[in-house]
């Protein structure tokens, strides 16, 4: 089972950190008002950082470490290409959306291979 730590950027420019088994589902929950109170009050959010972690305990520890970073430390994580899987997840979501809309050349895709 894959565990992920993630950062979303809120509408007010702040970052919110969390962990999940499915980053795209979690972002949809945040944007539907079913996520954390902070994101309900400061949404909508967009996925800007995803990091694969080995297990639940590691995910909880990494989430706490990310939450302890100041805004500019979180920004450095977002800007760093190494280890950031957000682009891969967003590509999967884009392909799935195009597939649902029936656009030619779009194919249904699962979660990114990591």
Q: Is residue 72 part of a domain?
A: yes
Domain encompassing residue 70 = 3-100
Structural domains counted in the chain:
1
What is the pTM assigned to this prediction? 0.81
The CATH number covering residue 11 comes to: 3.40.1440
Helix then strand then coil, in percent of the chain rounded to 5, is: 45, 20, 35
Q: Is residue 16 part of a domain?
A: yes
Estimate to the nearest angstrom the gap between the alpha carbon of 80 and the chain centroid. Answer: 15
Q: Is residue 111 part of a domain?
A: no
pLDDT, tens digit, 9 for 90 and up, residues 63-114 = 999 999 999 999 999 998 788 888 888 888 888 778 777 765 544 445 565 5
Q: Is residue 109 part of a domain?
A: no
Q: Is residue 105 part of a domain?
A: no
pLDDT, tens digit, 9 for 90 and up, residues 14-32 = 999 999 999 999 999 999 9
């Amino acid at each position: 089972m894959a565990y992920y730590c993630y950062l979303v950027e809120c509408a007010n420019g702040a970052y919110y950190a969390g962990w999940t088994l499915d980053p795209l589902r979690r972002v949809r929950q945040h944007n539907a008002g079913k996520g954390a109170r902070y994101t309900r009050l400061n949404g909508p959010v967009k996925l800007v950082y995803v990091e694969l972690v080995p297990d639940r305990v590691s995910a909880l520890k990494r989430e706490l470490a990310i939450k302890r970073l100041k805004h500019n430390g979180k920004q450095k994580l977002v800007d760093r290409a190494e280890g950031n899987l957000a682009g891969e997840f967003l590509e999967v979501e884009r392909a799935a959306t195009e597939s649902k809309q029936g656009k030619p050349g779009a194919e249904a895709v699962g979660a990114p291979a990591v």
